[in-house]
Structures are given as C-alpha cells and as structure tokens.
Structure 1
Amino acid sequence: MADENEEQQEQQADGGAKKKKLLLFGGLGAGVIIIIAVVVWLFTGDGYTTAKATDSSNSSNVVEADTSEAPQVGNALYVGMPRPFVFIVPGDARERTVQIKVQLMVRGEDNEELTKRHIPLIEGTLHQVFSSSTAEELKTANGKEKLRELALRELQSALTKVAGKGLVEQVLFTSMVMQ
C-alpha cells in the first residue's frame, strides 16, 4: 500500500513537471511567433510605404524633367545629423538642458553628397544658433519655428560661403526635449 502511494505521488510530481515544461515552452513559442510577426509587419509596412513614395516621386520626375532645370518637387532627400544637439539655455528660474534631433531636407543626390561632406560645418553652425536661444523661446511653437528659420538662414549662409550654394532647403526638428 505504501509503495503504491509513493508511486502515485512520483507520477503526479512527474506529470506536474511535464505540464510546467509544456506551458513554459508553449509560452516561449507563442512569444517568439508574436515577435516575428511584429518584425515582419514593421518591415513590410515600411517597404510598402517606401516603394509607393519612390514610385510617385519617379513619375513626377518624368513629367517635370523636360520643363526646367529647377529642383523638382519629388526629389527631396533627407540628411540626418549623426548625433543630437545637446546644449544649455538660460531660463527664468534656472538653466535648462535641451536636446534637438535634426534632419536636413535637400534636393537631388548631388546636394545630398555635398551636404554630407560639410557635416562638421553644419553641426558647428546649428550648435551656435541653438545655444543662442532661451528656454522661454523654446517653450512656444512660435519660438521653435523662429529658431528653425534662423537655423536655416545661418546654415544656408555658411554653406554658400563654402560650397557656393545653400544646399539645404529645410531644417526639420525630428525631436526636441527640454529639461
């Protein structure tokens, strides 16, 4: 009798361990499947959007290529700064630390390459412009817009002196954090 009870307890313990292992592997398997599905969805979504944008820009280039040598609407390219700009600005009660991530919009692959070649000049100019602002200016949408316009003017001026043309059409703030 005692031997039978011990055997039943061992079988129940083995069955419980097997159930735990089965649940663990099942949960891990489901988690992996979910992660794979999300990754595939993200890559598929981005590929579709990029392909669609490329197709529409190519069709507009074909139409406008014969009309003039001015930059076409569909050939905007974006040059990202290699690192965010971090600087300190004066505020009412205390100084504040600001971080701004910037992308530059240029027209054409030639301007993109020239812009990439002049990244140190661009970074220096933008850092000088950004650090001359105040926390009060950066708190308002109007102040941010003025800073963006000032950055564009200064950047085009500096690039014109070095490269012979402004190269950059827009300065875009992709992220701004103030602490």
Structure 2
Amino acid sequence: MAEDANEQTGNSGGGKKKLIMMIVIGLVLIGLSVGGTLLALKFVGGDEPAATAEAEPDAPVEEVKKPAIYYPLKPTIIVNFSARGRQRFLQAEVSLMVREEDVVAAIEEHGTMLQHGLLMLFSGQDYGELQTDEGKELLRQMALEEVQRMLEQEIGKPGVEQVLFTNFVMQ
C-alpha cells in the first residue's frame, strides 16, 4: 500500500509539473506573439511619427528638399586671353541649379547682370591655371559665389545651389 501512495504522489506531482510547464509555454507563446505583432507594426506602420509630430507642435519639422531645377544661362560665355603673346579663348556654357520657381524668375529677370558678372570673373583668370582640374573647380566655386552675391543683392537670398559647366572649351 505504501507503494500505491508513492505512485499516486509521483503521478500527481508530474501532473502539476505538466500543468505548470504548459502555462509557462503558453505565456512564452503569448509574449512572442505580442512582441512579433509590435515589431511588425513598427516596421509597417509609418503613421506613428506623424502622430507624435501632431501631438508636439513645438517639435522641429524636417524640411523636404524640393526637386532641382537646372536653368541654362544663355548666351554662351566667350572670353579671350592673351597668353605668352598668343590670343587664347575660353568658351563656357553655364547652368544654374536652383530649387525654387521664384529664383528662376529672378534669374530670367537679371540674366544680363549675371552674364556680365560671370564674363568679368572669367576674363580676370589666368589661362594657364584654368587648364588644370583644380583651376576649373576653383573657377566654378568662384562663379557660384559671384552669382549668389548678385542674387542676394537683387532678391535678398542666394537662391542658386550650384553653378555647373555644361561645356568648357579652351583654345
């Protein structure tokens, strides 16, 4: 009879262990399910950052960059140099990269002034320096600064993001 009592206690202890084990496994599965759902919502749901931005009106809003507008300056800039007793020429086609329509209108309105400023800048350069890549890049940066300076005077903002040479011929 003592053996029967031990068997019953051993079986009932095993039953409790099974019940506890099933409860623990169930809780783990529920936790994994909830965690997986939250993770999936984090990757799929893009509305959460917008909701926090609405809740906090003082939070800084990142400005979306407008698409680039490339405006070619016409006519082509042609400059002559005197290098080592010979006549040399530079022909450059210039495009301006802007992001606002009002800047395009200002460039159209003040195009003659921009052409003049670039012509004077280009003609003041040393022909030998312009033959190197560094010299061309330096001229491009100086042209950007000059265009931004002139537009700043006229419209109150630099407006132009880049000056690009679309054609650059030296003879």
Secondary structure of 2:83 counterpart: coil
Is 2:159 the partner of 1:176? no
Partner of 2:76: 84
Q: Deviations over 1:119-171 (max 9, x none)?
A: 11111111111111121111100000000101111111111111111111111
Secondary structure of 1:165 counterpart: coil
Count of matched residue pairs: 112
TM-score (norm 1): 0.58
Is 2:157 the partner of 1:157? no
Separation in 1 of the partners of 2:100 and 2:146? Answer: 21
Separation in 2 of the partners of 1:112 and 1:80? Answer: 10
Is 2:90 the partner of 1:98? yes
In structure 1, stretches of 5+ residues that fail to align are: 1-65
Separation in 2 of the partners of 1:169 and 1:119? Answer: 16
Q: Which amino acid aligns with 1:166?
A: P
Separation in 2 of the partners of 1:140 and 1:178? Answer: 11
Partner of 2:131: 139
| 1:130 aligned residue (122, 140, 147) | 122
1:41-60 equivalence runs, <5 A: none
Q: Deviations over 1:87-125 (max 9, x none)?
A: 112323523111000000011222222222211111111
Separation in 2 of the partners of 1:118 and 1:68? Answer: 32
Kindly, what percent of the aligned residue pairs are identical?
Answer: 38
State whether residues 115 and 168 of structure 1, in contact with CA within 8 Å, keep that contact through their aligned partners in structure 2: no
Secondary structure of 1:95 counterpart: strand
Q: Deviations over 1:57-97 (max 9, x none)?
A: xxxxxxxxx9444x61x511011112100111232352311
CA RMSD of aligned residues (A): 1.8
Separation in 2 of the partners of 1:124 and 1:140? Answer: 24
- Evaluate the alpha carbon distance shift between residue 132 and residue 169 of structure 1 in structure 2; reply closer, same or farther with a 3 A threshold: same
Q: Which amino acid aligns with 1:156?
A: Q
123-132 vs 112-121, which deviates more? 112-121
Secondary structure of 1:160 counterpart: helix
Separation in 1 of the partners of 2:147 and 2:130? Answer: 19
TM-score (norm 2): 0.60
Separation in 2 of the partners of 1:78 and 1:158? Answer: 18
State whether residues 78 and 105 of structure 1, in contact with CA within 8 Å, keep that contact through their aligned partners in structure 2: yes
In structure 2, stretches of 5+ residues that fail to align are: 1-59
Q: Which amino acid aligns with 2:127?
A: A
